[in-house]
Structure 1
Amino acid sequence: MENKKINIAIVDDHPIVIEGLKIMLNSQPFFHVSESFTSGSEIVSFIRSNEVDIILLDIALPDANGTELCREIKKISPETSVIMFSNRSERSIIMQSIQNGASGYLLKNTSINELVVCIKGALSGNIVFCNETKQIISKPSSNDLPIPRLTKREKQILQMVAQGKTSAVIAEELFLSPLTVDTHRKNLLQKFQAKNSTELINLAVHMHLMEE
């Protein structure tokens, strides 16, 4: 078992990417790139009658979307580990890939050392990410969060917080008690899942809630 080479297939529509990966991976003692393909239909046909340990799969292919193709590959060959290998760094695409059965998501600027570690990790049953991908998924973007429903008063206070006004000033201008203003501010932080006022305003801006 120790001497068994890990059988890898590459799916990418850029031949230069394929050649580079082949050279790097075949230089590793236990890796062997058995096949490479430039389209989704080719890899689907191949795995119907051939076993592959790992597939490095690009997102953008001429005849398929990589995230959907991943789901199809896993249906045909559940034992094959699929690692997405792409330039696309949107959090939604990364998460969709994992939902569709991918064992990991690496960006194409990943180092060979990181790639090797991730391939071994995927074969051990882990979900693997390169360092940059880990950073992307660790902080949800405003697009991933539902837009909170705000009351008229909350919108008003949000605007005033964005102007840098303190609770005391807001309370005075709106004829409210400072305690009431603080309660509204706490509710806003909770609704936006924000840690502080700066994060609250940044999220509100990204969600276009600060526009008149």
Structure 2
Amino acid sequence: MIKVAIVDDHKILTEGLQGLITDSGLATVVGVAHSAGQCRLSIGFWKPDVLLLDVGLPDISGIDFCKELKQEFPDIAILALTTHDEYSVVRQMLDNGASGYVIKNALPDEILAGIEAVAAGQTFLCHEIDLLMKRPSGKNIWLTERERELLRLVSEGLTNGEIADKIFLSPETIKGYRKNLLLKLGAKNTAVLVKMAFEQKLI
């Protein structure tokens, strides 16, 4: 039987998930944590095969926590279970080692299918996320780590010179990066760029 742990700060949801998983006969819940801190303390004892991980945790971003967990416990399959359905969030979770991504309003059968698939070493995307990832790439914006850092500094209102000092690059290089960002996001100026960055949760 598949051993599942759940990390999510919504207690009602975790109770519902526990019931769903236990009743399925497919898996058993070996532990529940409502924060990354709680999970860190217990995951070594739980030894789950699959970890259901929320992206929006109270103490750390689930995206960062996913990376941390995969480095420490590479054998645990992580299935993101979240309300976030933005391309950039899904992409970052998968890049950080998640084996699957399910949104919270997915059908119970899809959640169970996700647990089964990632436990078997497969990648699993719920129907809605699968469609999102297959959309024409014009709607999907994927930024490199450096571009995201630059975008964050631009959104803080720093000039090219100030950004250059901060990340040890020449103002000319920053100018090129900024131009690329405008092109990539299809923004006509910095104000639009910053607005899009926040709307699409790119930073």
User: TM (normalized to structure 1)?
Assistant: 0.65
How many aligned positions are there? 149
| Structure 2 residue 186 is matched with structure 1 residue 207 | yes
Structure 1: segments with no counterpart, 5+ residues: 147-203
Structure 2: segments with no counterpart, 5+ residues: 144-182, 193-203
* Partners of 1:47 and 1:77 within 8 A in 2: no
Deviation at 1:119, TM superposition (A): 1.1
| Structure 2 residue 81 is matched with structure 1 residue 105 | no
Distance 1:124 1:40 in 2: 25
SS in 2 for 1:60: coil
- Match in the other structure for 1:9: 5
Identity %: 29
| Structure 2 residue 114 is matched with structure 1 residue 135 | no
* Partners of 2:88 and 2:142 within 8 A in 1: no
Supply the AA of the counterpart residue of 2:141.
D
Q: 1:79 aligns with which of 53, 57, 75?
A: 75
Deviation at 1:143, TM superposition (A): 5.5
Q: Which has the higher contact order (CA 8 A, sep 6+)?
A: 2
Supply the AA of the counterpart residue of 2:29.
V
Distance 2:113 2:65 in 1: 24
User: TM (normalized to structure 2)?
Assistant: 0.68
Distance 1:46 1:141 in 2: 42
Cα distance, 1:31–1:143 mapped onto 2, change above 3 Å: closer
**Which has the greater radius of gyration?**
1
Distance 1:94 1:104 in 2: 9
| Larger helix percent | 2
Deviation at 1:145, TM superposition (A): 6.3
